[in-house]
C-alpha cells in the first residue's frame, strides 16, 4: 500500500503494484499526462441521497462528508470567501483538498488564487490552527472531530459540495496488469463490491473495524460522517470532476474519457 496517490499511480503504471488506491482527482491528473490506467472498483464516495441528507439537516454536509474546512475557535471567518489573503493548510498542493476548498471559495464568491496555501499533515495542521499559526485547515476524519471537540469551527464540507455523489476513492491498475491478470482483477472487483455492500448494510461493524485499523477511539469514529462505499463506478461521476477541474484551472482541458476506462464496462 502506498499512502501518496501519485506515487501509487506511478508504481501501478510501472508494474511495481498490481492495484493502488487513488481519489478521482489524482487519477484525472495522471490520465491528462497519458498514463495508461483502468478503474477496477470503487473504494469510497457519496451515496445518491447524500446531498438530500445534508439539506434535510440544515445544509450540514458534515453528516456525510469526511473532509472539512476548519477555522480556529476565536476566528472571525464565517465564510470561505473570507479566506482570501489567509494562510490555509492542505495535505498536498494541487490535490483533493486544495481543489475542493478552491471550489468552495469560488462558489462563495471568493478567489482561491489569493489564498496562501501551505502544506501540513493533518496532525500538524490541527496543532497549527489551534496555536494561531494558520487561519484555516483542510482536514479529514478523525481530525475534524478532534478539532471540533477542541472548539474549532467547521466552515464548510468541501468534498460533498464538489463531488455531490458517486465514487470518489478508486482502486486502479495499470493497463499491463489488467491485461495480464484479467481473472484476478475481476475477482478483486467482485470482492470489493461485495465488501462495500456489506459495509453499507452493517455500519456499526464497519465503524468498529475502522476504529481498530486506525487506532482511533470508537466514539470519535461514530461522531464523524456516515461513510458510504459505492458498489459501482459511473463514468458520469468521473466526468463531472473532469469538468470542474477545468473550470477551476487545475486542468488545461478536459481529459477524454470513455466507458473502457472502467473494468467490465464497454
pLDDT digits (tens, 9 = 90+) for 68-90: 999 999 999 999 999 999 999 99
**pLDDT at position 223:** 83
Domain definitions of the chain by residue range: 5-48+165-215+228-261, 50-163
Q: 50-163 has which CATH code? A: 3.40.190.10
pLDDT tens, 204-241?
999 999 899 888 889 888 888 889 999 999 999 999 99
pLDDT at residue 33 in the model: 95
| 5-48+165-215+228-261 and 50-163 in the same fold | yes
pLDDT at 39 over 70: yes
Whole-number Cα distances in Å, 94 to 97, 109, 112, 211: 8, 20, 12, 29
Answer whether CATH 3.40.190.10 is correct for domain 5-48+165-215+228-261: yes
Name which of 121, 122, 125, 149 is nearest 136 in CA terms: 125
Helices (H) and strands (E) in the chain, counts: 12, 8
In angstroms, the CA 2 to CA 4 distance is 6
CB of 142 closer than 8 Å to CB of 220? yes
Q: Tell me the pLDDT band of 21, cut-offs 50, 70 and 90.
A: very high
Query: Cα(2)–Cα(200) distance, rounded to whole angstroms?
Result: 25
Q: Please give the order of strands across the beta sheet that includes 166-174.
A: 20-23, 166-174, 37-46
Residue (of 266, 11, 16, 23) closest to 140 by Cα position: 23
Amino acid at each position: 500500500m502506498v499512502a501518496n496517490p501519485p506515487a501509487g499511480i506511478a508504481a501501478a503504471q510501472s508494474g511495481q503494484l498490481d492495484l493502488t488506491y487513488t481519489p478521482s482527482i489524482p487519477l484525472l491528473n495522471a490520465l491528462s499526462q497519458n498514463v495508461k490506467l483502468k478503474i477496477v472498483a470503487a473504494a469510497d464516495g457519496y451515496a445518491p441521497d447524500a446531498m438530500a441528507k445534508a439539506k434535510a439537516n440544515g445544509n450540514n454536509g458534515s453528516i456525510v462528508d469526511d473532509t472539512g474546512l476548519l477555522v480556529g475557535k476565536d476566528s472571525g471567518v464565517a465564510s470561505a470567501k473570507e479566506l482570501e489573503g489567509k494562510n490555509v493548510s492542505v495535505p498536498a498542493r494541487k490535490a483533493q483538498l486544495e481543489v475542493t476548498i478552491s471550489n468552495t471559495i469560488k462558489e462563495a464568491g471568493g478567489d482561491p488564487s489569493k489564498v496562501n496555501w501551505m502544506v501540513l499533515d493533518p496532525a500538524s495542521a490541527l496543532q497549527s490552527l489551534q496555536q494561531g499559526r494558520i487561519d484555516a485547515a483542510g482536514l479529514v476524519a478523525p481530525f475534524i472531530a478532534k478539532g471540533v471537540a477542541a472548539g474549532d469551527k467547521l466552515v464548510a464540507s468541501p468534498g460533498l459540495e464538489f463531488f455531490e455523489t458517486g465514487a470518489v476513492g478508486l482502486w486502479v491498475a495499470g493497463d499491463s496488469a489488467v491485461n495480464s491478470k484479467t481473472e484476478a482483477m475481476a475477482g478483486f472487483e467482485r470482492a470489493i463490491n461485495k465488501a462495500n455492500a456489506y459495509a453499507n448494510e452493517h455500519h456499526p461493524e464497519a465503524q468498529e473495524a475502522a476504529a481498530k485499523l486506525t487506532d482511533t477511539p470508537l466514539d470519535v469514529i461514530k461522531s464523524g460522517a456516515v461513510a458510504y462505499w459505492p458498489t459501482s463506478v459511473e463514468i458520469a461521476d468521473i466526468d463531472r470532476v473532469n469538468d470542474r477541474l477545468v473550470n477551476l484551472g487545475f486542468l488545461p482541458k478536459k481529459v477524454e474519457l470513455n466507458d473502457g476506462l472502467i473494468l467490465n464496462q464497454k
